[in-house]
């Protein structure tokens, strides 16, 4: 039995590729060829009530920051929310990587972490 991700769709056509990722009511579309994505969007607008929100800035808890020659992906906002939710926002940070021996078993409460992350 082959397992597939029903929210990720990939279309290959000659030298172009379109990747469409759907999560709830959010759709992320990317491509390597502008004309192919324009055709895809035109087709989707015919069948679905959609609006184009512009370039990607935030998706599934990940902030996307574009620079002239690179893209930065950040989960700082998500991490900050987790710290506030778990009552750890005022705790001091620790440089990474840290030694595994420095982690106290009392610091790690899997049930508390699981509840904070929604997992």
What is the span of the domain harbouring residue 46?
A: 8-56
Q: What are phi and psi of 109, to 5 degrees?
A: -115, 100
Q: Between 110-117 and 76-85, two packed helices, what is the crossing angle to 10 degrees? A: 120
- Residue 113 falls inside a structural domain: yes
pLDDT digits (tens, 9 = 90+) for 80-101: 888 898 888 888 877 666 555 5
- Residue 2 included in any domain: no
- Residue 79 shares a structural domain with residue 50: no
End-to-end CA distance of the chain: 27
Q: Does residue 17 lie within any of the structural domains?
A: yes
pLDDT per residue as tens digits for the range 1-32: 556 668 888 888 788 888 888 888 788 888 88
Q: Which is nearest to 60 in space by CA: 31, 18, 10, 24?
A: 24
pTM (whole model) above 0.75? no
Total domains in the chain come to: 2
Please check whether residue 23 lies inside any domain of the structure: yes
pLDDT at 68: 85
pLDDT exceeds 60 at position 109: no
């Amino acid at each position: 039995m082959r397992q597939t991700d029903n929210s990720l769709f990939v279309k290959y056509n000659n030298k172009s590729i379109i990747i469409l990722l759907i999560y709830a009511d959010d759709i992320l579309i990317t491509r390597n060829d502008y004309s192919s994505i324009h055709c895809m969007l035109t087709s989707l607008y015919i069948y679905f009530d959609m609006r184009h929100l512009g370039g990607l800035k935030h998706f599934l808890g990940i902030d996307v920051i574009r620079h002239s020659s690179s893209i930065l992906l950040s989960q700082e906002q998500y991490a900050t929310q987790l710290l506030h939710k778990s009552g750890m926002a005022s705790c001091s940070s620790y440089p990474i990587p840290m030694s595994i021996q420095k982690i106290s078993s009392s610091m790690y409460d899997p049930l508390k972490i699981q509840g904070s992350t929604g997992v």
